[in-house]
């Protein structure tokens, strides 16, 4: 029988804040929370953004003044609210009113004698362009030279323009991941990776060394990456721009730009992982493709622990320019047209992303999300928190296309399979009445028609009436590779708090949206934690990368564990889990109080060949108790003779 992948920890950061402790989810549904939960999450945001910290038993604000918590949170509540989720672009990454670009110009001579100009000697091009003559080179001691040019020539002139797109799902104002560890000019996506992976590992409530000494190194995996690679200046962006900008390429820009680098960073600087690693690259479905790899590993028994993640930091001018040129983004002009605004009127940037309503494009978001999966036996053995279970993840391509970015048939297949797999676990009645959909819900005209038709057809095929549909990109934007990670974090929050996030940026459903059998949530829906048995997470990626996941609620997972392992095993598990739950709460409370728990182990316990010993049955790594076994089943035993192929004697 297949082992069940259980979600035992998760963490991350996006426009809603820190993911662990369900704080990012809580920010989305903050109006539906009780007062204590609301204050706790606002306090978490204040600490995350450097506005508040607990020191020696006293709460201290950013100016070092002692404050009373409830009064202070009340005074900055609106600022915290406005400094999160989708909003007008800020200037922490670049100035959207001063986008740098070069304009090509042709300098013309005004007479037959040409013209002259002065350059610093070190700025002189080598070799000299045709038609250039150095006039005063006799004085070699001068650091300047006069150049005579006889002919016309082209130059690039520094220019600046205002961005066409002025909103995004930015990280909470004031949060800077580069300040939390020695970031050493790391691309922003890798800075987010370190924070998010640390958050996930700390949230487990079990010391990583305990896990490391329980599970053989080759049975731990990390699958994490980005869809675009690291394209800011510290990554591939700088690699491609440096010469054009008159700068030098650095030794870090090439290696740190690779799409799988988030996995590499987690292995090298957070966990010291020796097991499986890497990433699938599948555009906007990347997180679910990585999750599928993890699920297959755990189901098969090849791995017992897998960390799954994705990271994307796409908020930079070139990215905005590229997506806007595709007419994929909601720019200022299209938003004004939607709301019948004059040119001088302010755009409602908070409502830029409007899934399934009249809309004009998606809104980019930055995010890093990680989930920790154990197999069911290990989760019981270590008393791990049970946050949910991953039943199945299905992927499919789209078939033949005209435009590579247009949707096709693949998502019908993945959604149908995910729903069928869910029904296998919880039954037909629960599928119809106790599930909901985390839609891809990008906010583009094409998505609203194609995805709604898919969901409507699936609901009809399985006899579902009024299937609740959520779309959290309306809160945090589209983080591309990480988007399904945002959805998973929100789903775990709904399992805990029983509130399905509404699509609060819309006030109607567009006429061309398929509405049959669907309930597009235009307000938060309180259903109660015990009334959600499963959710379907859907992703549709450029190029035909479709993925849908069946995620099971914690109470369903516990029933499955009792069915397989027995009630006595569950009672024993609950005793073990008490200490784990307490440690998870301690971490969350410490983070709320402003303590930095970022894990970054640079040049830590680096091992060479002296650390490894092996024979023909096992490999032993220094300081790690479980050995790597070289005794494994021959999957092709029926095709071999005497445990190995032997050449038959032709005589």
pLDDT for position 642: 67
Indicate the pTM of the whole model: 0.95
CA dist 427 and 192 (Å) reads: 39
CA separation for the pair 223, 278 (Å, rounded): 5
Beta bridge mates, 148: 116, 133
Q: What is the DSSP letter of 334?
A: H
The encoded tokens of residue 616 equal 């023909």
Per DSSP, the residues of 611-639 read: GEEE-SSEEEETT--S-EE-----TTGGG
Catalogue all structural domains in the chain, each as residue range(s) with its CATH number.
5-85+166-231+257-564 (3.40.47.10), 99-161 (no CATH)
Q: What pLDDT is attached to residue 648?
A: 54
Residues carrying an active site annotation: 284, 440, 478
With a CB cutoff of 8 Å and minimum separation 6, the contacts of 112 are: none
Q: Which residue has the tokens 């035909």?
A: 544
| Residue 116 CB contacts under 8 Å (≥ 6 apart), including other chains | 135, 146, 147, 148, 149
What φ, ψ does residue 558 adopt, rounded to 5°? -65, -40
- Under DSSP, the state recorded for 33 is S
- DSSP state letter for 30: G
Q: Whole-angstrom Cα distance, residue 266 to residue 535?
A: 28
Low-confidence ranges of the chain (pLDDT < 70): 137-141, 642-651
Rounded to 5 degrees, φ, ψ at 286 are -55, -45
Q: What is the CA radius of gyration of the chain?
A: 28
Instruction: Name 650's Cβ contacts closer than 8 Å, sequence gap at least 6.
Output: none
Rounded CA separation 90/178 (Å): 17
Question: What CA dihedral angle connects 283, 171, 484 and 349, to 10 degrees?
Answer: -80
């Amino acid at each position: 029988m297949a082992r069940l992948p259980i979600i035992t920890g998760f963490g991350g950061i996006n426009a809603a804040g820190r993911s662990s402790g369900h704080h990012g989810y809580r920010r989305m549904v903050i109006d539906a929370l009780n007062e204590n939960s609301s204050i706790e999450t606002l306090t978490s945001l204040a600490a995350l953004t450097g506005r508040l910290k607990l020191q020696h038993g006293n709460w201290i604000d950013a100016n070092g003044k002692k404050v009373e918590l409830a009064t202070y949170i009340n005074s900055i509540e609106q600022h915290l609210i406005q400094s999160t989720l989708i909003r007008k672009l800020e200037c922490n990454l670049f100035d959207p009113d001063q986008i740098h670009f070069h304009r090509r110009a042709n300098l013309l001579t005004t007479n037959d004698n040409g013209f002259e100009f002065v350059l610093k000697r070190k700025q002189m091009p080598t070799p000299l362009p045709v038609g250039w003559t150095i006039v005063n080179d006799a004085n070699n001691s001068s650091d300047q030279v006069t150049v005579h040019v006889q002919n016309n020539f082209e130059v690039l002139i520094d220019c600046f323009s205002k961005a066409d797109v002025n909103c995004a799902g930015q990280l909470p104002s004031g949060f800077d991941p580069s300040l939390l560890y020695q970031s050493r000019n790391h691309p922003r996506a890798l800075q987010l990776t370190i924070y998010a992976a640390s958050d996930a590992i700390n949230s487990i409530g079990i010391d990583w060394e305990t896990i490391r000494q329980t599970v053989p190194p080759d049975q731990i995996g990390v699958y994490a990456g980005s869809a675009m690679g690291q394209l800011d200046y510290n990554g591939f962006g700088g690699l491609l721009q440096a010469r054009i900008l008159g700068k030098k390429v650095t030794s870090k820009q090439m290696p740190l730009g690779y799409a799988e680098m988030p996995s590499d960073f987690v292995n090298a600087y957070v966990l010291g992982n020796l097991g499986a690693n890497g990433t699938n690259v599948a555009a906007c479905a990347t997180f679910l493709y990585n999750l599928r790899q993890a699920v297959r590993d755990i189901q098969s028994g090849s791995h017992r622990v897998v960390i799954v993640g994705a990271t994307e930091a796409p908020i930079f001018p070139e990215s905005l320019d590229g997506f806007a040129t595709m007419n994929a983004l909601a720019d200022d002009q299209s938003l004004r047209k939607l709301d019948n605004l004059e040119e001088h009127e302010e755009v409602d940037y908070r409502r830029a992303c409007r899934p399934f309503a009249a809309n004009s494009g998606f809104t980019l978001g930055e995010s890093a999300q990680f989930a920790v999966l154990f197999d069911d036996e290990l989760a019981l053995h270590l008393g791990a928190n049970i946050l949910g279970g991953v039943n199945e993840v299905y992927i499919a391509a789209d078939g033949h296309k005209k435009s590579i970015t247009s949707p096709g048939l693949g998502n019908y297949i993945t959604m149908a399979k995910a729903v069928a797999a869910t029904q296998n676990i919880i039954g037909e009645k629960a599928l119809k009445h106790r599930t909901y959909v985390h839609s891809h819900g990008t906010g583009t005209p094409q998505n609203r028609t194609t995805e709604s038709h898919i969901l409507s057809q699936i609901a009809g095929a399985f006899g579902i009436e009024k299937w609740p549909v959520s779309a959290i990109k309306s809160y945090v934007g589209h983080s591309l590779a990480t988007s399904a990670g945002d959805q998973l974090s929100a789903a775990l929050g709904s399992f805990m708090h029983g509130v399905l996030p509404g699509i609060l940026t819309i006030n109607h459903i567009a006429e061309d949206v398929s509405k049959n059998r669907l309930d597009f949530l235009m307000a938060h829906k309180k259903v109660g934690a015990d009334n959600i048995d499963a959710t379907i997470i859907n992703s549709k990626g450029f190029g035909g990368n479709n993925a849908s996941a069946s995620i099971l609620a914690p109470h369903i997972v516990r029933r499955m564990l009792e069915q397989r392992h027995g009630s006595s095993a569950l009672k024993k598990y609950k005793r073990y889990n008490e200490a784990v739950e307490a440690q998870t709460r301690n971490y969350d409370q410490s983070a709320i109080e402003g303590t930095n728990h970022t894990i970054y182990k640079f040049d830590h316990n680096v091992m060479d060949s002296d650390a490894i010993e092996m024979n023909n049955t096992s490999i032993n790594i220094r300081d790690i108790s479980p050995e790597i076994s070289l005794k494994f089943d021959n999957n092709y035993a029926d095709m071999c003779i005497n445990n190995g192929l032997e050449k038959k004697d032709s005589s």
